[in-house]
A and B are shown apart, each in its own frame.
Chain A
Amino acid sequence: MTEFWGFERPDGSVGVRNHLLVLTPMDCSYEPARKIAAQVEGAVAVTQHHGCGYDEMVANALIGTGRNPNVAGVLLVGLGCESLTSEILAEGIRPTGKPVEILVIQEEGGTLRTMERGVRILQGMAQDVADLKREPFPLSRLKLAVECGGSDATSGLAANPAVGVAADMLIDEGGTVIFGETQEMTGTQHILARRAIDEEVGKAIHAMIGRQEARMRAMGVDSRFMSKGNVEGGLTTIEEKSLGAIRKGGTRPIQGVLENSRAGLDYPSRPGLWLQDGTGWDVPSVTHMVAAGAQVVAFTSGRGSTTGHAIAPVLKVTGNPKTYEKMRDNMDINAGTVLDGSESLRSVGERIFGAIVEVASGRKTKAEALGYQDFIVYSTSRIAERLLGFC
């Protein structure tokens, strides 16, 4: 049995990082939050840009991020007049048992007082966190999110199938894998539904992809069509294109669809492969899979995406050997060795699996070493969802 070395949290979950999260309910309080985080090692500040009204999807994503086991402690910094209050977020995070503190700028008496208290609170948390030690845990405590961005013809050929091999290996050792990007599943609902553990999950998959196709139709787009560039690149049917994307999730049975909407944010309730109903935009997709509990991300990119994440290590895998050579600063894994036959898909997959375990045990990814802290909360349009009858 493979083990990884992580930090156990009071609720029994296991973090692979020890971040302190300075969380702001909306962007009005982000500047002081960012400056507070900058004073304390391991701290990171995040916000969202959907306004200060109560948006369930935004609230769920922020709460999920605070709950993620990679976060050791949370400092909420609010302004004071928002409807999406720090208290609402704190209530969602506190059941994990990790320290959660709140500062409200209008109550503290301005930016400077908030910053001073904030730095002191965070520094105290940092000292407590420094005492935590990594311990070995089975892979049944690890959740991996898989994502792709900046794809090219090598993505479906090398990087995605190789990450899929690693995903299968993780699940076979009792782990959990989450993949999303509903829009990229068009034309494969019957295939995904066949892989579902039961009929109910199959229906949920059809419903999820059907909703996304309806959204696209409402925008005047038939998502079953590919672009001219896709066809010139060698993709023959929409099934082939979508299968190339979903292959990064591997081939194991699908346990269920994770709600990621105004109705709620689901966390995987048991190990195995899960689908998250999410956006095809890569950084928010990663943000919402991490909010659903993923501690590590494997991200494939043919052309060379550079993004990371605020609280989760993002391992970059490229199937394009030229991109790997040109962007070694950003790319962790070269899956392009498959193209000249010097390495098999299985062998690259095993290498990725090994890297995932090492990263989960503390090795920094390239994106982490470069200080990438990407975080974008996504929300659907309430107007569109209501008009389509989805909420």
Chain B
Amino acid sequence: MKKAIQIDEKDNVATVTSDVETGETVEVLSPDGEAIGMPKLLDPVPFGHKLALVNLEKGDRVIKYGEVIGVAAKAIRVGEWVHVHNVESATVPTSAYKGERG
């Protein structure tokens, strides 16, 4: 089965280690190598991109490396692709990356 890695045990997102299609399930591995879930993907998620491990409401913190990397710009369901279309940075608006950047 395809894998996703949770880098820090506090993380609520995991990074897939290969391209995953909608409807596929991935095995999520903790930093200690334990299988901590097998979510079904709601979107295609390319290698190196993230999926949600829990349901997030708008404004909820997105945590990777045990730290806040941004906040949910809208509700995000378990297994959904987490990226610039649904996360805002506290530093630079991710809208800057959604279209062509000047």
Comparing A59-67, A132-140, A270-278, A344-352, the segment that makes contact with chain B is: A344-352
User: Are the CB atoms of B31 and A161 closer together than 8 Å?
Assistant: yes
> For chain A residues 111-169, which have a beta carbon within 8 Å of chain B?
153-154, 157-158, 161, 165
Partner of B94, one of A161, A236, A346: A236
> For chain A residues 39-76, which have a beta carbon within 8 Å of chain B?
none
In the complex, how many angstroms separate the beta carbon of B7 from the nearest chain A beta carbon?
5
> What residues of chain B lie closer than 8 Å to A236, measured between beta carbons?
50, 62, 69-70, 82-84, 87, 89, 94
Q: Total interface residues on B, using CB and 8 Å?
A: 39
Comparing A279-287, A292-300, A333-341, the segment that makes contact with chain B is: A333-341
Given the known inter-chain contacts A187-B91, A243-B67, please indicate yes or no for A234 contacting B33, CB distance below 8 A: no
Partner of A228, one of B49, B82, B101: B101
In the complex, how many angstroms separate the beta carbon of B97 from the nearest chain A beta carbon?
5
Docked pose: A187 CA to B70 CA in angstroms: 11
Q: Is A343 an interface residue (CB 8 A)?
A: yes
> For chain B residues 1-36, which have a beta carbon within 8 Å of chain A?
3, 5, 7-8, 15, 17-18, 27, 29-34
User: Are the CB atoms of A187 and B92 closer together than 8 Å?
Assistant: yes
> What residues of chain A lie closer than 8 Å to B84, measured between beta carbons?
231, 236
User: Are the CB atoms of A239 and B96 closer together than 8 Å?
Assistant: no
Partner of A247, one of B17, B30, B65: B65
Q: Is B59 an interface residue (CB 8 A)?
A: no
> What residues of chain B lie closer than 8 Å to A340, measured between beta carbons?
3, 17
> What residues of chain A lie closer than 8 Å to B96, measured between beta carbons?
225
Query: Which partner residue on chain A sits nearest B17 by CB separation?
Result: A339
Docked pose: A301 CA to B85 CA in angstroms: 29
> For chain B residues 52-102, which have a beta carbon within 8 Å of chain A?
62, 64-70, 82-84, 87, 89-92, 94, 96-97, 101
Given the known inter-chain contacts A228-B101, A247-B7, please indicate yes or no for A344 contacting B70, CB distance below 8 A: no
In the complex, how many angstroms separate the beta carbon of B45 from the nearest chain A beta carbon?
9
User: Are the CB atoms of B7 and A157 closer together than 8 Å?
Assistant: yes
> What residues of chain A lie closer than 8 Å to B44, measured between beta carbons?
none
Partner of B33, one of A191, A239, A346: A346
User: Are the CB atoms of B92 and A224 closer together than 8 Å?
Assistant: yes
Given the known inter-chain contacts A224-B92, A231-B97, A236-B83, please indicate yes or no for A251 contacting B17, CB distance below 8 A: no
> What residues of chain A lie closer than 8 Å to B69, measured between beta carbons?
236-237, 239-240, 243
Docked pose: A233 CA to B16 CA in angstroms: 12
Q: Is A38 an interface residue (CB 8 A)?
A: no
User: Are the CB atoms of A347 and B33 closer together than 8 Å?
Assistant: yes
User: Are the CB atoms of A239 and B31 closer together than 8 Å?
Assistant: no
User: Are the CB atoms of A234 and B50 closer together than 8 Å?
Assistant: yes
Q: Is A90 an interface residue (CB 8 A)?
A: no
Candidate in B5, B62, B67 with the most chain A CB atoms within 10 angstroms: B67
Given the known inter-chain contacts A234-B15, A236-B70, A243-B64, please indicate yes or no for A344 contacting B29, CB distance below 8 A: yes
Q: Is A216 an interface residue (CB 8 A)?
A: no
> What residues of chain B lie closer than 8 Å to A225, measured between beta carbons?
92, 96, 101
Instruction: Name B's A-contacting residues (CB within 8 A).
Output: 3, 5, 7-8, 15, 17-18, 27, 29-34, 46-50, 62, 64-70, 82-84, 87, 89-92, 94, 96-97, 101
